[in-house]
Chain A
């Protein structure tokens, strides 16, 4: 259960951090404001998931201890969300792929037999719904926009595509969660994800990459090099001044 909660909370923690890196640097003021809202939702969701994780673990670690005092190998997020921002198209495509998965995931988790999980999801699901709406709108517009925006979105899709498969790969922990009625198997989401994805890509005039090769490891603690750098920044104060309270 602890691991399952980390998987949920680390996704939003890491992606929220990545999105917050844009603060003050977005292409237009309206977008700066919209991105900050997404990051704020993600940080809020992180506090709920990691808060519950700490409770379940029972070692007295609160959400902040889990976020700021674990090393990369203890993180359980998807590789997708730790991919660096690169250009704005990359950031939006990463957000869209995550939102599409996240929205479905939360919809399934509404039915969790664990009341605490269902409680958290009830709060997050509306936020995820809005994020997906915004992501979709932007992907469709930029895909079917100028030649340059189309090329950038197609390139972003291809660069991030190898990180999509991991979202639907079941492992032993997933099977246990499914048996206990806490969370359905990730693979069960795949057909819905594919259908929704294909619809958006068609409208966006983007081509779905053919390869189904998938990079994996994030959910079991083997990450890309980027996560370590991200944590070095994020955890700096808590690590440098371990006695301080902030």
Chain B
């Protein structure tokens, strides 16, 4: 028998209209129990309206050593941000 139940990552939607956010992890034997445990562990103070659980082993993360090539190239594309453009006040909101 495995020594420990698998680890699950827990995501909570705090209110309707917001995205699910990672809040932490816990152990559970299966997905349904993970949902119940997450309810008991992570919503004791009325923190959520919806839960996702994902087996930690199923999460693929980007490698920290690739941080430069992965994320730096978008640094110099300032024209993607609305503040790049100067629109005269007279035009009104845009």
Q: Which residues of A contact B (CB under 8 A)?
A: 28-30, 33-34, 37, 130, 133-134, 137, 141
Report chain B residues within 8 Å CB of A133.
Answer: 36
Report chain A residues within 8 Å CB of B29.
Answer: 141
Report chain B residues within 8 Å CB of A130.
Answer: 39
Report chain B residues within 8 Å CB of A134.
Answer: 36
Report chain A residues within 8 Å CB of B28.
Answer: 30
Q: Which residue of B has the minimal Cβ distance to A134?
A: B36
Query: In the complex the two chains form, is A137's CB within 8 Å of B33's CB?
Result: yes
Report chain B residues within 8 Å CB of A28.
Answer: 5, 27
Question: Is B76's CB within 8 Å of the partner chain A?
Answer: no
Report chain A residues within 8 Å CB of B32.
Answer: 137
Q: Which residue of A has the minimal Cβ distance to B28?
A: A30
Instruction: Pick the 10 closest A-B CB pairs, nearest first.
Output: A34-B40, A30-B37, A33-B40, A37-B40, A33-B41, A134-B36, A30-B26, A30-B27, A30-B41, A137-B32
Report chain A residues within 8 Å CB of B40.
Answer: 30, 33-34, 37
Question: Is B44's CB within 8 Å of the partner chain A?
Answer: yes
Output the residue of A30, A34, A141 with the most chain B CB within 10 A.
Answer: A30
Q: Which residues of B contact A (CB under 8 A)?
A: 5, 26-29, 32-33, 36-37, 39-41, 44
Report chain B residues within 8 Å CB of A141.
Answer: 29, 33
Q: Which residue of A has the minimal Cβ distance to B29?
A: A141
Bound Cα distance from A34 to B32, whole angstroms: 14
- A sample of 22 cross-chain residue pairs with beta-carbon separation below 8 angstroms, ordered by A number, consists of A28-B5, A28-B27, A29-B27, A30-B26, A30-B28, A30-B37, A30-B41, A33-B37, A33-B40, A33-B41, A33-B44, A34-B36, A34-B37, A34-B40, A37-B40, A130-B39, A134-B36, A137-B32, A137-B33, A137-B36, A141-B29, A141-B33
Report chain B residues within 8 Å CB of A137.
Answer: 32-33, 36
CB distance from B36 to the nearest CB of A (A): 6
Bound Cα distance from A137 to B27, whole angstroms: 16
Report chain B residues within 8 Å CB of A30.
Answer: 26-28, 37, 40-41
CB distance from A245 to the nearest CB of B (A): 28
Bound Cα distance from A206 to B61, whole angstroms: 43
Bound Cα distance from A33 to B33, whole angstroms: 13
Report chain A residues within 8 Å CB of B27.
Answer: 28-30
- Sample of 18 more A-B contacts, CB < 8 Å, known A28-B5, A137-B33: A28-B27, A29-B27, A30-B26, A30-B27, A30-B28, A30-B37, A30-B40, A30-B41, A33-B40, A33-B41, A33-B44, A34-B36, A34-B37, A34-B40, A37-B40, A37-B44, A130-B39, A141-B33
Report chain B residues within 8 Å CB of A29.
Answer: 27
CB distance from A238 to the nearest CB of B (A): 28
Bound Cα distance from A31 to B17, whole angstroms: 31
